[in-house]
Each structure stands twice: as C-alpha cells, then as structure tokens.
Structure 1
Amino acid sequence: MHKLLRHGLAAQLIALLLCALVMPAQARVVADLYEVVEAVPSRGTTDRADAIGRGLERVFVRVTGDTAIGSDPQLRPELRRADRFLQSYRYEVEDNQLYLHLSYDPQAVSERVRRLELPLWPNNRPGTLVWLAADTLQGGRAALSEQDAPELYAALEGMAIDRGLPVDFPAMDPVDRSAMPLGNLWAQDERAAERAGVRYRPDATLMGRALELSADRWQANWLLIHGGRAHAFDATGSSLEEVAQQGIDGAANLLAQRYAVRTGGQTGPQNALVLEVSGINEFADYTGAIAYLQGLAQVSSAELLAADNDRLRFSITSTVGLDRLRDALALNRRLSAGAEEDPIDLTGYRAPVGSAENPLRYRWH
C-alpha cells in the first residue's frame, strides 16, 4: 500500500518545498479486496482447502464490513464450498515460510452477497490518515512515525489490508510536527487534525494515544474524524501492536456502518430524489457522471430527466437516507456540493432538499 513521504526530510525548507507534492489520502477504489495470502504448513490438498476457506471468510469480511460475518448461518455452507469462488492460486516461499496466494472471483462473491442479502461495503472507501502517539514506561510520551517503528506500522497496514481500508501515515517530518505538536496529538485536538490534514487531504482522520500500564497491559483511546463527525472508542491489550490494530479495526467498523448498504430483495425504504449535476462540458463528463451515478451502490436506479447546457438532471432512487447518500457522493472528488439556490416556492414553505423544486446540487470537475 502506498505510503506518504516514506523518508523523513532533513531540512524544513525542503519539506516545505515538497509539501505540495505529497499524494493526498483520499477516497479510493480498493482493487485487492478479493486477494488473500495465507500461511500454510504444506502444499497438501487438505491444507490448501483449509486455507481457501479461511481466505474466503476474510474476503467476505472485507466486502461486507462485518467482522462476524463468518458466523452467519447462511454463509457457513458457502465457506465449506469455498473452492467454487476461487479463480486462481499460487505458492510462494519467504523466510522459510510457505504462503498460498489466493484470488477469488469478484462476481461470484458479489452475487452471493446479493442473494443472501448481506451488507455490501462499496469498494470506493475513505482514505484514512492515521496519527499515533504512545506513552511508555521507559521512554515516556512521543509521537510515533513509520520510520521509527516499522514493525508496528507494518502490523497496522496488515490490519488495514484485512479490513479493506485504505490508510496512510503522516511523514512526521518538521512540517507535520509543527502542524501537529505532541500535546495536540495527545489531546486529540480536532482543529489541529484539520490543519495538519491540509497537506494530505484525507477523507477521514484517525488519532490514537496509547498508554503502557505495565509490561503486558496497554490501553488506547481512539478518535475517528470523518464527514464533520467525531467518534471515540477505546482499546485494551497486552501490547502496543494489539491496541494499535484495534484502532484500525474499530475505524473500519465505524466506516462500514456508515457506507455499507443492504443488498438483495428487501433493501428497505426507497427514496426518490432529484439530483442536478453542473459542469458537464464534454462528452466524457456526460458519460462519466451517468456511469458513476448508475454504478453507485447506494442508488438502485438513476434516470436522466433533462440535459440543459452544462447541467444534467437525474431522477434517482436511493436505498439509503439523504445523509448517507450525501456521505457516499462526498467520496467522489470529481463531485463538489453546490450552493443551494432559491427553490421554487408555491406552497408557502421551503421545498424539501432532493425535490424537483429544490434538487440536490453538485458540480462535476
């Protein structure tokens, strides 16, 4: 997974010059949801079959966002016949350990998710920037970086891969340490997170502070900031690595709850809305906007009603509420919410947002 500014910068002047070149952590289409690597003791048929079943369960966790999905009674028969979902496999040896690389069929998995009416977490997911500080018995309190603790951050990245959550870590160079002083990080200062995040433009920010209570007792407090909301949760464990991984896991749980949609026959209330997209200046914009809306998991149908100059107006049917639909639309950096214009008011009150008189308004970039 891509890292931001893998190497620290020696001088603040160079850091400032390179700041504009930092790749932003933003909503990304996660392409490797269906790829799994399992450690196996041998190339035998039984060991391979066991690994294929474990790997498929991990894929369903990523796709649904539900860590307990493997215990769902209706999914258990599928896990016992996991080879039907397998596209390919290969072996690899690394450091005297045998690994089995497994690739599952996205269509087969998605079809089963829909048929069983399981939640579906679309693969366009919030890029999440992770800040972490620790207070240890020997070293005291410090902000942690990927360069200082590569094994810890490898564990964090491994958990993020398991959950299908795209994460990035700040460089913790002079620019970051100035924007996010240790005191602000430990206090989980949301304003400092906003200022420091300008450099990376994350969709979500995860801030953690971990405290070593004894040689084998740790506790951590986590704060996930996303979409104008903040969610706090705690973690306990026997090591820094354990409470840090719980932070990634908890953030993925919260984001999955926000973006996952129910699939299959009974999808809940259908919300009919009108959505207007401006800034459609080329044919590629036209086809891109239509394809995006029609492919959005939170939208069951999108019908083009009218095209006027640079504006398209759609009638859409959403399977989620208005706020959750706006959350999903906000993940597409080619869309920006437009200012509400004065609606046509024929009844003496303001027409509801999403109605024909007061549509949802976005601009395509």
Structure 2
Amino acid sequence: MALQAWHEVIKKMRLIVLFVAALLPCGVFHAMASPALYQAEVNAEQTQQQWQREALQQVLIRVTGQPDIMQRPELRTELNNAASYVKQFEAVRTEQGNNVRVLLDAVRIQQVLRQLQIPIWGGQRPELLFWMVQQQGTERQFVRQADSILLQSLETALQQQGLPYTLPLYDLDDLVNLTENDVWGGFWPQIEQASSRYNVQQVVVLLIEEMISAEPEVVQSWRLTALRQHNGLLLRDELTAPDEQTLMQHYSEILSQQLTQQYAILLTPEVIEQSVLQINGLTQLTDIVQLERRLSELLGVSRVMILSHSAEKTLFALNLQMTAEQLLQSLVFEPNLQLRAQAQSWPTDLPSAVEAQPVLAEFDYIRP
C-alpha cells in the first residue's frame, strides 16, 4: 500500500514538473537538447515540397550518421511523403536570406528506421572540445577569431551533424598551460591538462595547413589532420579540400560516422529485457520526477517504472529495446549520474519481490 501511495504522489509531481517545464526556457532542462536532432533549417526560396524533402533528408542524415543514407531506395521513397513528417515550421531570417525552420516527427522517423533495421544515433552524444591550430609558413597560431572562416565553417558543420561541441576560451589559463606547438606536436599530457577545466567527453585536435603552389602564389587546397583519443588509442584522420567550408563539412561527416559506429543503437521491435538501476541520493520529489522523465526519453527505453524509494536509494526498472550495455553507454552522458565502481548495500525493509530483482548498475545522483 505504501508503494502505491508513493506512485500517486509521483503522478502528481509529474504534472507539476511538466507545468514548470513549459514555463521555463529550453536551456533549463538537459533533455531539451534532444529535439534539435529532429529540427532542420532550409532555404525558403524553393517550393514547399522541396524544403520539406530537404528537411527530412537533413534529419535522416543527422540521426543515422550516414551521409549516403538517402541512397537507400526505401528512404528515397519516403521523401515523397515528407509532408507527413512535418510537425511544425516557421519562417526565420538570417544573414544569408530567408529560411524555414522545420520540426519533424521523431517517433515516426524512429519507427521507419527501426523497420528498416538502420541504427539510430539519439540525443546521448559526447561533448567534443576542439583545439584548432593553423600553420602558415613557419608560424603557428590558434584559430580563435570569431570571424575566422575556418572556425565558422567548423561550427556550421558540427551543428548540421548534431554534434555537441565546446570551443576553448583561450584565456590566460589556456594560454599559460598550452601552446600552439604543444597542440601541433601532439603532446597529450599538456592537451589533457588544459582541457580538464571544460569537463567534456572527448578532445579533438585539428591541425590546418594551406597547400600553396610556387606559381602562381594562390592557395590550391587545404589540408586537415585531426587527432583524438578514445579508449587509450590515438585516432588520426587526414583529408584535403579546395576550401575551408568543404574541408570542415567533410571532416564533420567523417567524425559523425565514426561516433555513430560507437554509439548508434539498433532498436528491436519488442522489449528484449528489463534492467534495474539503483540511484542513490534522490531526496527531492522534483529530482525523482525529472530523472524518471530523462530516463524515459532515452532512445531504446520504452517504459520506466519506480520500483521502490527510500531516503538512501531509488530503484528504477527500465524496459529496453536495446542491450543493457547500450543503456550504460547512454548513461555516461547524463550529467547528474555518477556510476559507482562497486555496489553499496543499504538496509531495507522492502518486499523481497522487489529486492530480488538484480541491479544492473548503481549511480550516485548529483544535483544540478
């Protein structure tokens, strides 16, 4: 009976949290970043059918991480039904001209990709920190000017791919701890030390060179060397392009493909298993409701239930359309959850049926 009464309280709190969320700006809730994956901005100077098709194509590339995904005949057919995917749209003005901002139906897109057995990369994405150094002759400089074409092209390309990113401040702390030569030489202890203040999941080094011919003295092409570390390995990519925009566009596509292979989830039609998470330190009802909401929004989670709650711990049961390993990988990006290396036993008087369920993992809750 006590557990049933608790669920009634949770139901009421859900309504309060949803009401407050509607009044707050989008940036307040971490979950609000996810819908941007299914939002596209396209040129308004075309027919309605054309911008609807372009918007759908943008989103399909972003959530699959595959630039050539539209080569699939089934998805090319879906472009003819692009209008049915549009949930809302609005006109926006930019320095480049008039655009249309389009929000597409995430649930329907996921259903199509699941039916076609195409892995989906959801909103749980690593935050990337970019250190960019350009070499001109013998001189090396950080690329940090706001009006830099290289920097603007990088940001545009990352936004198109839906890749969360942070750019260094290049303040006194950064410039004392890290030099252009440190970055160019790949001195990772110094790079990691300077990057630690930004609290990101991955650090990327971009080395830029202008390829200039002897005659005439014009830039023929640009060369990019990209370095990042993952699981103790140094990953390296090299590419060239005729201009800065193409260079950054190609690199962002390569990076998105690599991260998709690591994080994308192949959804199953049915629930394949139920996993139980133990969260320690959830003392506020609002925190419980918000975390339940966050868990339910995870790609591959079809249902979330609160099994039990006490002052020390809360048990959540999650119905999964993915593997438990993929769930744990997604939770790495939850800023309010810290995985415990070893489970901790708590005294409890909960029913044995609840306690008998094995706990997949134990987390400490960190209030924002």
TM range (shorter): 0.7 to 0.9
SS in 1 for 2:236: strand
Unaligned stretches of 5+ residues in structure 2 = 1-26, 213-218, 346-355
Q: Partner of 1:253 in structure 2? A: 257
Distance 1:256 1:227 in 2: 16
Alpha carbons of structure 1 residues 313 and 91: separation in structure 2 relative to 1, 3 Å: closer
Quote how far apart the aligned CAs of 1:273 are.
4.0
Alpha carbons of structure 1 residues 28 and 66: separation in structure 2 relative to 1, 3 Å: farther
Q: Partner of 2:119 in structure 1? A: 119
Contact 1:203 1:226 in 2 (8 A): no
Quote how far apart the aligned CAs of 1:200 are.
1.7
Q: Out of 134, 157, 161, which is 1:159 matched to?
A: 157
Distance 1:208 1:62 in 2: 22
Contact 1:210 1:240 in 2 (8 A): no
Please, what TM-score do these two structures have when normalized by structure 1? 0.75
Contact 1:65 1:253 in 2 (8 A): yes
Distance 1:196 1:305 in 2: 43
Counterpart amino acid of residue 310 in structure 1: E
Q: How does 1:4-153 map to 2 (within 5 A)?
A: 29-39=33-43, 42=45, 45=47, 48-91=48-91, 98-107=97-106, 108-137=108-137, 140-147=139-146, 149-153=147-151
Q: Partner of 1:176 in structure 2? A: 174
Distance 2:153 2:199 in 1: 24
SS in 1 for 2:60: helix
Alpha carbons of structure 1 residues 34 and 306: separation in structure 2 relative to 1, 3 Å: closer
- TM-superposition CA deviations, 1:165-196 (whole Å, max 9, x none): 12221122332122221122112333223211
Is 1:331 aligned to 2:345, yes or no? no
Counterpart amino acid of residue 313 in structure 1: L
Q: Partner of 2:200 in structure 1? A: 202
- TM-superposition CA deviations, 1:206-235 (whole Å, max 9, x none): 211122333323322212345766532222
Counterpart amino acid of residue 145 in structure 2: E
Distance 1:90 1:315 in 2: 39
- TM-superposition CA deviations, 1:30-79 (whole Å, max 9, x none): 44233333335x46x4xx32232122100111222222221111111111
Contact 1:128 1:168 in 2 (8 A): yes
Distance 1:297 1:273 in 2: 15
Q: Partner of 1:243 in structure 2? A: 247
Contact 1:92 1:101 in 2 (8 A): yes
Contact 2:174 2:194 in 1 (8 A): yes
RMSD (Å), alpha carbons:
3.3
Alpha carbons of structure 1 residues 241 and 75: separation in structure 2 relative to 1, 3 Å: closer
Contact 2:177 2:194 in 1 (8 A): yes
Contact 1:129 1:204 in 2 (8 A): yes
Q: Out of 215, 219, 222, which is 2:223 matched to?
A: 219
Counterpart amino acid of residue 339 in structure 2: A
Alpha carbons of structure 1 residues 262 and 135: separation in structure 2 relative to 1, 3 Å: same
The structure with the largest helix share of the pair is 2
Q: Which runs of 4+ in 1 moved over 6 A?
A: none
Alpha carbons of structure 1 residues 33 and 315: separation in structure 2 relative to 1, 3 Å: closer
Counterpart amino acid of residue 261 in structure 2: Q
Contact 2:157 2:248 in 1 (8 A): no
Counterpart amino acid of residue 247 in structure 1: Y
Counterpart amino acid of residue 119 in structure 1: P
Q: Partner of 1:12 in structure 2? A: none
SS in 1 for 2:329: helix
Unaligned stretches of 5+ residues in structure 1 = 1-22, 344-354
- TM-superposition CA deviations, 1:256-293 (whole Å, max 9, x none): 222221235278xx455442111111212222333333
Contact 1:28 1:126 in 2 (8 A): no
SS in 1 for 2:74: coil
Counterpart amino acid of residue 144 in structure 1: V
Distance 1:271 1:227 in 2: 28
Contact 1:117 1:262 in 2 (8 A): yes
